[in-house]
Amino acid sequence: MTEARTFKQFSGNLTDPDWWRGGVVYQIYPRSYQDSNGDGIGDLNGISQRLPYIAALGVDAIWLSPFFKSPMKDFGYDVSDYCAVDPMFGTLEDFTGMLEHAHRLGLRVIIDQVLSHTADSHSWFTESRADQTNPKADWYVWADAKGDGTPPNNWLSIFGGSGWQWDTAREQYYLHNFLTSQPDLNVHNPQLQQALLETMRFWLELGVDGFRFDTVNFYMHDPLLRDNPPKGRPQGIDAAVNSVNPYAWQWHRYDKTQPENIPFLKRIRAMLDEYPGITTVGEVSADDSLDVMAEYTNGGDKLHTAYSFDLLSEACSAPHLHRILANFEQRVSDGWACWAISNHDVVRVATRWGGNQATPQALKLYAALQLSLRGSPCIYQGDELGLPEAELLFEELQDPYGITMWPAFKGRDGCRTPMPWSAAAPHAGFSSADKTWLSLAAPHLSLAADVQQQQSDSVLAHYQNFLKWRKTLPVLINGEIALLSVDDQVLAFVRNQDGKQLLCAFNLSASAAGYTLPADIGALSTCEGHGFSAAGIKDQQLDLAAWGVCFAWVN
């Protein structure tokens, strides 16, 4: 290890390099967390101001969505310089100051890495599109038109329309899985791979503690450019959303999740292993995301953890969650999941799972469930306040995805509105500007952090208390999991480690429920300190109130 790496290495990573296994991550969307300079947009110095709040919450790490230099057509997920901070968010010195502050508070810092595509203003793309013979000509995915001038195949963009855009300079099409201004990198190219590794090393040398990899299974495409087979209009869960977007009408056999992705992930991991205690979280969106999660995290030589959109769907029934967990556990060997129930891409969990008006008890159950699963939980900013999805008018939208798909899909702005810090302050304490980039949601004011900090039974207090309690129970942090029988209302499982077994049961409904435990469970003794009322336990019968939770030791 070089002297520079030793100097910047966070001491907590050296004392516990496996901190990420069961560690809790808190996702920050920088534009909407705290504005420190009065321009209506959150920034790095604003995040630094709020780090004591995050440390008091009891999480282990923060994940920052992109703050890199960008034209901001997709709000930072279109990077024009991987090693520069966009002036909107501050300077590189602001970042290192925030990083050092986080470390002093015992918080690790994970940053986003968008390796599947760049902005079309990136210098790499400027050079690549100039002609077909320049040194970076093969750094992006280029292809000739068919004889009739149409795109090379039927691949689609997630944001709507063809996944191919004609470029008059090269007289070829380039691939874009997202906006036309987000050309896809040709990660098959070994020189490009090395360049991407060097951008990651830049941030590692500064002392970051890990990376969240955006669209991690999108890095490679089928070199033969074969057509994806048809899937048809989606049915069942989430069909109302997906049926309006033809992207969901294909099996994505050739445009992503290619076998060549595995060697590249191993190359990344080999470089990261030079830095003790570094972790990775991969975002997986695939036809069979759970299988890809298992494949990408098994073996200890690829990703440390990964998450999918399976818990980010509309469904929240006990059978649905049981099926997801059972499917993953059947496929994984030594891999590790990151379980997220909200993030910057989906409707907030309070609305998505809780309906028009989620009760505080339901919100507390969702938190306890997420924090009790085998894996590393990721909490999205504002979920600790129980924020519902914000409702915006079409004229207020900023998200190009929502603007394109309106009104069937309203986009992602509703989960990205600014954090409410103080109910009585202008813009709820987020900014001193006359106008913020997205407006504060009026229903969020009564849920502001300063209000909930004065309430011992608030959702915020529950998160703080539960996270504190969880740290006292190693079985919840990295123990094994055994799912119990499926039930219409109750999700139940046992976490076990070193001979200790903890029963965890959750009534995911607004009515009381009875649950019959397996005969081999044995006697139970109530586990205290988690903040829920005691459940009724008699013989093999468990009685749970509406949104009731039971934690009990198996004797």
pLDDT at residue 508, as a whole number: 97
Q: What is the DSSP string of 220-254?
A: ---TT-PPPPB--S--STTHHHHTTSGGGGB--SS
Cα–Cα distance, 356 to 347 (Å, whole number): 12
Per-residue confidence of the chain (555 residues) as pLDDT tens digits? 344 444 588 999 989 999 999 999 999 999 999 999 999 999 999 999 999 999 999 999 999 999 999 999 999 999 999 999 999 999 999 999 999 999 999 999 999 999 999 999 999 999 999 999 999 999 999 999 999 999 999 999 999 999 999 999 999 999 999 999 999 999 999 999 999 999 999 999 999 999 999 999 999 999 999 999 999 988 765 555 566 899 999 999 999 999 999 999 999 999 999 999 999 999 999 999 999 999 999 999 999 999 999 999 888 899 999 999 999 999 999 999 999 999 999 999 999 999 878 999 999 999 999 999 999 999 999 999 999 999 999 999 999 999 999 998 999 999 999 999 999 999 999 999 999 999 999 999 999 999 999 999 999 999 999 999 999 999 999 999 999 999 999 999 999 999 999 999 999 999 999 999 998 888 889 888 999 998 888 888 999 999 999 999 998
Which H or E run includes 466? helix 459-470
Residues belonging to the active site:
214, 274
* Separation of CA 515 from chain center: 32
Q: Half-sphere exposure of 516 toward its Cβ, with a 13 Å CA cutoff?
A: 1
pTM equals: 0.96
Pair type for strands 490-497 and 480-483? antiparallel
**Helix 92-104 vs helix 190-206: angle between axes, to the nearest 10 degrees?**
60
Q: Please name the residues in contact with 431: beta carbons below 8 A apart, sequence gap of 6 or more.
A: 34, 35, 38, 39, 40, 41, 42, 418
Cα–Cα distance, 345 to 358 (Å, whole number): 20
Give the SS3 label for residue 495.
Answer: strand
Domains of the chain, CATH where assigned: 3-116+189-221+256-470 (3.20.20.80), 480-554 (2.60.40.1180)
- Give me the helices (H) in 152-308, please: 190-206, 239-242, 261-272, 289-297
Q: Please name the residues in contact with 397: beta carbons below 8 A apart, sequence gap of 6 or more.
A: 403, 406, 410, 411, 413
**Cis peptide preceding 407, ω within 30 of 0:** yes
pLDDT at residue 526, as a whole number: 83
Identify the bridge partners of residue 154 per DSSP, sorted by sequence position.
none
**Counts of helices then strands in the chain (DSSP H, E):** 16, 21
Pair type for strands 68-69 and 172-175? unpaired
One-letter amino acid of 72: M
Cα–Cα distance, 76 to 99 (Å, whole number): 19
How many Cβ atoms are within 10 Å of 391's Cβ, its own excluded?
14
pLDDT at residue 522, as a whole number: 80
pLDDT at residue 242, as a whole number: 66
pLDDT at residue 520, as a whole number: 87
Q: What is the DSSP string of 14-65?
A: HH-TTTTTT--EEEE-GGGT--SSSSSS--HHHHHHHHHHHHHHT-SEEEEP
pLDDT at residue 534, as a whole number: 85
